Amino acid sequence: MIVSYDSIMKPPYSINSDIIKLVASISEKIGKVETNYLDRPVIYLRKQNKIKTIHASLWIEGNTLSLEQVTAIIDNKPVLGPQKDILEVQNAIKVYDGLKNLDPFSERSFLDAHKDLLAGLIDKAGSYRQDAVGVLKGNEVVHVAPPAKRVPLLMGDLFDYLKRDKDLLLIKSCVFHYETEFIHPFMDGNGRMGRLWQTLILMKDYPIFEYLPFETLIAQTQSDYYKVLQDCDDAGDSTLFIEYMLSILDRSLSEMLNYKNRTISDVERLDYYVSTGVKSFSRKDYMSIFKDISTATASRDLKKGVEMKLFNKIGDKNKTIYHIS
């Protein structure tokens, strides 16, 4: 579905008033997040986002593990469940942990990410498909992907568009997501790659999207997600999908702003601090991360952490040092 436009093979879509309004709303919300909460998403949301993102993106593809089971795998705890589903989560953890090492404009990075995401799940992970493929809904074929021999050319054109076109990266991320679904470059994993790569593209201009699990809202509106993909196939352009995804991003940012206004619990603070990999620390070190809590609150947190056996206490008063268990 990519056509030549100003020497760039540009996917067909149009920018309408609804898209302009959504871009303005998203930009405003990003400004609020970056102005008021710049340091706090790093502290409170990284792990939660990873859990929610992995669970939702794989659930859309039929993974049966619960949010609690995904959390346990991330925490290196044993989980009972289908081995395929567990491996999907383990692979996704590896990819999302290394997200900042991937280049959103690199086709090689795209293939490497697929190789890690589908390792042990399909043959020739990290390679474009060599066979014809279609998308089924029940017993009905609802989408026939382009011939396999055209996939390398189509994906090359798509990355060229991503790198060279002058439209906002916010819009291009939606287009890339849709076109990945349309081209279906792999035998499996196309949906999760489209969602993963949209996150990576958005992070280039808006780092806050590392902490925004918009896949959760896609999972909650899964029937709408698949319907708008089908509607775009029928229409021959991705305008409706851009509208849908921008509305998802806008709602996700609203939820983040609402989340940021709630009180963060002592257990959430402790869970984050332990997850940073620190080996030993003082109360002052702890408060340097959580700048909005009082000395008394920090002391209560650390007392609870000792009771929970998250770390050991050595020394007394202002000379106390805590060692991670």
**pLDDT digits over 2-44, tens only?**
554 455 789 999 999 999 999 999 999 988 877 765 555 455 5
Banded model confidence at residue 85, pLDDT cuts 50, 70, 90: very high
pTM for this entry: 0.80
Residue 44: its pLDDT value, please? 55
**3-class DSSP state of 48:** helix
- Start-end of CATH 1.10.3290.10 domains in the chain: 3-260
Read off the pLDDT band of 269 (50, 70, 90).
confident
Half-sphere exposure of 181 (CA within 13 A, CB side): 27
Q: Tell whether the model's pLDDT for residue 135 goes beyond 60.
A: yes
Give the pLDDT confidence of 175-201 residue by residue, as tens digits.
999 999 999 999 999 999 999 999 999
* 55 has a pLDDT exceeding 70: yes
Domain 3-260 architecture: Orthogonal Bundle (1.10)
Name the fold adopted by 266-324.
Arc Repressor Mutant, subunit A (1.10.10)
Q: What is the DSSP letter of 210?
A: G
Using one digit for the tens of pLDDT, what is the confidence trace for 286-295? 988 777 788 9
In tens, the pLDDT along 210-265 reads: 878 889 999 999 999 999 999 999 999 999 999 999 999 999 999 888 765 456 67
pLDDT at 4: 47
Amino acid 5: pLDDT: 45
Residue 135, CB-side half-sphere exposure with 13 Å CA sphere? 21
pLDDT at 325 over 80: no
Q: Which residue has the tokens 């998403």?
A: 41
How far apart CA 33 and CA 38 sit, in angstroms, is: 6
Average pLDDT over residues 96-124: 95
For CATH 1.10.10, the residue range(s) in the chain are 266-324
| Residue 148 pLDDT class (50, 70, 90 cuts) | very high
For residue 300, the model assigns a pLDDT of 93
The percentage of residues in the chain with a pLDDT greater than 90, rounded to a whole number, is: 64
Q: Looking at this protein, which amino acid is placed at residue 56? A: A
Lowest mean pLDDT among 163-167, 260-264, 292-296, 299-303: 260-264
In angstroms, rounded to a whole number, what is the distance separating the alpha carbons of residues 10 and 266?
Answer: 50
What is the DSSP secondary structure assignment for residue 317, as one 8-state letter? G
Hey, which residues does 278 pair with through a beta bridge? Answer: none
Look over the chain and give the mean of its residue pLDDT values, rounded to a whole number.
88
Q: What pLDDT is recorded for position 197? A: 97
The pLDDT score that the predictor gives to residue 262 is 54
Number of H helices, E strands in the chain: 15, 7
